């Protein structure tokens, strides 16, 4: 039995190649992240995840970005999920309805993914919609951190009911700057006290509610530290672990993004993120970068990290066939397709 390694990788297509099978057995690998390029249909993706899980024990974690709105990797054959910003709009009119909708949406997202063998979705977004970030925008629930935490808590409870833990992102908050960390390194000039009274509040509340995992932002906060948050021991060890008492998994954001590249070569980025406090690093879209990380990263398994990562495995054994005949699922689909008018029925969610 192998330990789960600290690296999560992307795949090229809709089935495993012989080369990918070999790569995924590398002791430094601990997970796979799936994208639209890996998806053709629910049945196909279920075959792919089963093949990945069969490679080793404990089984590799399988993740996807499946927030809804602009960020939903699996579409045809899955319920089209609204952007969670719609829940924030409903919250102002009807708090109870918004929270019930958030719980149902989190459950539906997670239960559809669990039925095809996906362990976790990198959701929910806990950033605030300050009205300046195009990359965040309606991916955020709201601009008020208390509303974000209230809706995200309901959303997380729905995910957990479906057998999936939540991953909050992008700590300590990506919504306050216009720059996109996929394309450049954003710089947020606000001091810590201002961040603590706004963006950090949603993360602090969700940690209190038992959030299992977080993903830090590739954003530089120069009044706090001279390294981007995902590579900063001050942010991850001093603030997140010690001050906020977070005990869950820390996943890096994609090390292939432009916001990470000034840290150094791919192995240097991976080493810097792990040394700063990440438990698992992501190399999603650059096979050469991933190979360099696997060839040059030096890492000794940590029992505490292993315990955290094992908690992220999905629970339950729901199949696609059972899901498609589940009346609760059918009602949840109707509810999510018509947030504003579909009656809230009693559902075991």
Count of residues making up the chain:
349
At 99, give phi and psi (nearest 5°): -70, -40
The answer to whether the CB of 15 falls within 8 A of the CB of 34 is no
The answer to whether the CB of 48 falls within 8 A of the CB of 14 is yes
Helix-helix angle 145-161:199-208, to 10 degrees: 40
The verdict on whether 182 is a catalytic residue reads: yes
The verdict on whether 296 is a catalytic residue reads: no
Which spans in the chain are helix H? 18-24, 42-53, 85-93, 95-114, 145-161, 192-196, 199-208, 233, 258-261, 266-276, 287-296, 303-310, 320-324, 327-337
Pick the catalytic residue from 12, 43, 94, 182. 182
Q: Which tokens hold the place of 55?
A: 């490679």
> Smallest Cα–Cα separation from 145: which of 116, 173, 103, 186?
173
| Straight-line distance from the first to the last Cα atom of the chain, in angstroms, rounded to the nearest whole number | 36
Query: Exposure of 22 by Cβ count < 10 A (0-12 exposed, 13-18 middle, 19+ buried)?
Result: exposed
CA distances from 17 to 44, 135, 306 (A): 15, 33, 27
In whole angstroms, what is the distance from residue 278 CA to residue 274 CA? Answer: 5
Pick the catalytic residue from 129, 138, 188, 253. 253
SS3 breakdown of the chain: % helix, strand, coil, rounded to 5?
45, 10, 45
Active site positions, annotated: 182, 253
């Amino acid at each position: 039995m192998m330990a789960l390694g600290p690296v999560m990788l992307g795949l090229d297509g809709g089935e495993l190649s012989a080369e990918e099978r070999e790569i995924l057995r590398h002791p430094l690998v601990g997970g796979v992240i799936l994208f639209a390029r890996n998806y053709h249909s629910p049945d196909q993706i279920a075959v792919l995840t089963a093949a990945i899980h069969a490679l080793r024990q404990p089984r590799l974690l399988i993740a996807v970005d499946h927030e809804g709105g602009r960020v939903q990797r699996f579409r045809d054959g899955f319920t089209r999920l609204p952007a969670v910003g719609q829940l924030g709009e409903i919250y102002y009119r009807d708090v109870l309805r918004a929270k019930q909708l958030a719980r149902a949406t989190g459950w539906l997202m997670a239960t559809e993914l669990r039925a095809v063998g996906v362990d976790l979705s990198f959701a929910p977004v806990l950033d605030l919609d300050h009205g300046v970030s195009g990359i965040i925008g309606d991916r955020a629930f709201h601009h008020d951190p208390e509303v974000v935490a209230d809706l995200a808590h309901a959303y997380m409870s729905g995910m957990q009911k479906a057998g999936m833990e939540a991953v909050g992102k992008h700590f300590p908050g990506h919504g306050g700057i216009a720059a996109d960390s996929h394309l450049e390194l954003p710089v947020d000039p606000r001091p810590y006290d201002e961040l603590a009274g706004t963006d950090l509040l949603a993360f602090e509340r969700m940690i209190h509610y038992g959030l299992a995992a977080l993903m830090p932002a590739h954003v530089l906060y120069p009044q706090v530290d001279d390294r981007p948050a995902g590579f900063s021991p001050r942010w991850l060890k001093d603030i997140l672990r010690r001050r906020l008492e977070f005990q869950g998994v820390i996943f890096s954001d994609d090390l292939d993004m432009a916001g990470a590249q000034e840290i150094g070569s791919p192995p240097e980025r991976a080493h810097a993120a792990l040394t700063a406090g990440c438990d698992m690093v992501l190399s999603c879209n650059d096979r050469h970068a991933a190979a360099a990380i696997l060839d040059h990263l030096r890492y000794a398994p940590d029992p505490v990290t292993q315990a955290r990562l094992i908690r992220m495995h999905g629970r339950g054994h729901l199949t696609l066939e059972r899901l498609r005949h589940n009346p609760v699922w059918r009602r949840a689909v109707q509810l999510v397709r018509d947030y504003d008018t579909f009656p809230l029925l009693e559902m075991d969610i």
